[in-house]
Structure 1
């Protein structure tokens, strides 16, 4: 009747019946032959593999009952070739699934990466706003109240050192790049052991990090106040704020603020020119 849709519906019904009864008949080969050709035309690898597998299985089962039955389907689709075609279709189906999985994983990775950089950008802008609004002002470097005072340092000496450190922090003495603990201890009229214990306990930092934080805090204030400093390169800024090398200044600045000085200076320049973050 040349009704293709009706034929395919009947073939599908036959496939369903044979699959449930597992009792094939000789003409079932023609049915699966047509279903395979339809799957090939539709590029449906999954159905192609399914129908090929059934044709091979039912042909083997039926052949044991009727060994002499031969029809046109088997002339054009002999079993060895059919097995080869089935294997190729299975490989293509697996490769397609791998591609879909890979694309999915890449998409997920892209979404996660994009979200990470978005959050990073938001945090960076918040930090920049904090710096541009007056920044991390020059502050006393401490970790809050100390519950246990160091027994290795007598109380009167500890109090004296802390008072002198407060004056030191409010001066610009810490901007001297040649300053070391021995020199500072001598200036504070104490020894390096006592000074080290007091700084570690009450400032919660090593002496080098203590100096770096004081210098970076001062750099933030001065960069906000003095437009001339915005013209300096890293090395010039390093020497101005007590560092020997530009790289050391940049690293210390980032460690304290979470923002690279280049980004901070760029935003300061935009603000001076009338732009805003």
Structure 2
């Protein structure tokens, strides 16, 4: 577009130059007429010859004027054509941009669908054989009955190794069937055990919070009290006071 605008400016400058040249020619030609009239008086040229020369000069001027007008109208036509061409280019450029934006919107709208398809394929890739799931669930039940969660050194890796499975399978079964992460699964079992002990074991109530945490498999007092309050909505001391009354 910038190139077309530059061409339009050049054409206008040429048109202005032609107008100036045409005016200069008329001035020169009229000077010739005046000089011719002056030579008549000085040289006493025959009036008939002078009239013929004047007619010839007028015809020449008329012919030049017609030629100039032809060029002038031709330039006007070229300018109008370029303006029309410029308008068409702007129109098609705008239309092309609209189509491009529409295509981009369609591509963006199609991205979520592709993402969902990818997620579905990913989940299918990690599907576990039902027999393996049943075996892991049976082992988890045995683990809970044997109070294996009281071991403070238990981790996902060591537990999976003990069950003769891998960490991905074990983690997914716990997430799917217990609806929690491995860490929360272990901590919830420990808190449930501590609650049962506090209810039925009077001696356990006399333990310090730190001793309770160590007895239930927590590594420190803070993690025990935090997990206890999360599950019961109250502190250990308040819970002991409540069940002791």
Normalising by the smaller structure, the TM-score range is: 0.3 to 0.5
- TM-score normalized by the length of structure 2: 0.48
Question: Which has a greater percent of helix?
Answer: 2
Structure number with greater CO (CA < 8 Å, separation at least 6) is: 1
Larger radius of gyration: 2
